[in-house]
Amino acid sequence: MNNKLCIVIPCYKVENHILDVLKKINFNYVDHIIIVDDFCPNKSGFKSKKKFNNKKKFTYIFLKKNLGVGGATLEGIKLALKKEFNYIVKLDGDDQHDFKTIKDFFKIFKSKKNVNCCKGYRELSLLNLKGMPIIRFFGNIFMTYIFRIISNKYYIKDVTNGLIGFDKKIIKKINLNQIKKNFFFEQDLLFNLIKKRAKIYQIKTKTIYADEK
């Protein structure tokens, strides 16, 4: 079980993308997927379960109320820990992430024994927007600089990037019940990982924007 990798996907209004996301996952290095339907009014989780219902590869959680992206992800992480997966990767369900990065995460975890957290980052520059909504672009830069000041970790890049993975040993050191459940989830989780002296490896990745609002 030492190399087992589990992906957690929070789902809310991603019914137009989630099937494409699941089709792209490579089970040569991904062992299991936990899909958390965050009380989605469009039933994203139910639609994916109709197409992908292999109990060995997929587990579905259907929340009875909306917990937000953080709350949904945390429910998936808790289940992944119960199932004793060694590596857990949070992936968004809107098909914006480069799946090659997940493979890169897995290679890093296996080859660099001192690394217990991997995160993706985008080059945040006006010359490299590539479809990113302008308000999100400036918001990302602002949040990243604030995070660096608060954490005193000036090497951290792109703190709003939703693609992040970690091993079970470091995540078990964190009280998950105290992590923010809203859109500040990634920043709060990253901040708590730093507090626990996580060794973070950052991988440049691209994000694909389609019908982003």
In this prediction, residue 199 carries a pLDDT of 96
Least confident of 2-6, 14-18, 164-168, 180-184: 2-6
Reply yes or no on whether the pLDDT at 66 is more than 90.
yes
Report pLDDT for 113. Answer: 82
Q: How distant is the alpha carbon of residue 109 from its chain centre?
A: 16
Q: How far is CA 112 from the centre of its chain?
A: 20
**Tens-place pLDDT, residues 120-154:** 998 765 545 565 667 777 778 888 999 999 999 99
Is residue 184 within 8 Å of 140, Cβ to Cβ? Answer: no
Please give the single-letter amino acid code of residue 173.
K
CA-closest candidate to residue 72, choices 191, 173, 185: 185
Give the residue ranges of DSSP H helices in 15-67. 18-24, 44-51
- Furthest CA-CA distance within the chain: 46
Confidence of residue 212 (pLDDT cuts 50, 70, 90): very low
* pLDDT at residue 209 is higher than 60: no
